[in-house]
Amino acid sequence: MIKVLIVEDDPMVAELNRQYVAKVDGFSVTGHAADAVGALELLAAEKVDLLLLDIHMPGMNGLDFLRQLREEKKDLDVILITAASKISQIQQALRLGAVDYLIKPFEFSRFQEALLQYKNQYYGLDDKEKVDQQELDRMLQKKGEPVQETENFGAVPKGLTKTTLKKIVEVILQLETNTFSTEDIAEISQISRVSVRKYLKFLTEIGYLEENLVYGIGRPIYRYLVKEDNQSRITPYV
């Protein structure tokens, strides 16, 4: 059984992650910490194989905590589960040895894929003293969708349409505020919140929007900002 420690300051997100872990065979949650201090206490108390780590936490952030773990040569693996989507943050995490990086919000299927891929590597390497290149390549192979070829550049993902994408972008450009939420766009465009969320996620993935998790009264919400230097990235899609 692979032992998992969840390091997440939002109780609701931590509980969701715990439920997700429980759905994947071969994994067991050993505990939950809201910050780096609590995580270190739990790591000192029992063996942990895999850390599900947030970046935005009170006190030491997740990247600094991961750096500390590496400096202390802690024998465990880390998957980042965070709303932080800046390239510099992702690069830091990967350079510090994170085995995967999930950007909130995500579907259970992507979470499951991350854990199953990790389990494949964990048991594949744990049971052997040596492997050949072919077997190692198979264990390290990601199961995600292949990168689109150049000839598909400008094609919107399956389930989205250029007409609706264009309408949502027009609404975004007409807003008087710098930042906005899914609800803001859904209300003005008269498009369902679920659909709007899919389009905003796509716009974030291509770098047109920046996504930030904002904490306030009640449940935290995602707010978006058009990245001024990347406005041209939407041109091929509308």
Domains observed in the chain: 2-140 (3.40.50.2300), 162-237 (1.10.10.10)
Backbone angles phi, psi at 218, to 5 degrees: 85, -155
- DSSP annotation of 73 reads T
Answer for the pair 227, 210: CB distance below 8 angstroms, yes or no: yes
Is residue 181 predicted with pLDDT exceeding 90? yes
Confidence of residue 197 (pLDDT cuts 50, 70, 90): very high
pLDDT at 147 over 60: no
Residue-averaged pLDDT of the chain = 85
Per-residue pLDDT at 40 exceeds 80: yes
- pLDDT band of 144, cuts 50, 70, 90: very low
Torsion, Cα of 133, 138, 143, 149 (10° steps): 50
Q: Which of 8-17, 161-170, 190-199, 213-222 has the lowest mean pLDDT?
A: 213-222
CA distance readout (Å), 162 to 154, 155, 207: 10, 8, 17
Q: Higher-confidence residue: 123 or 106?
A: 106
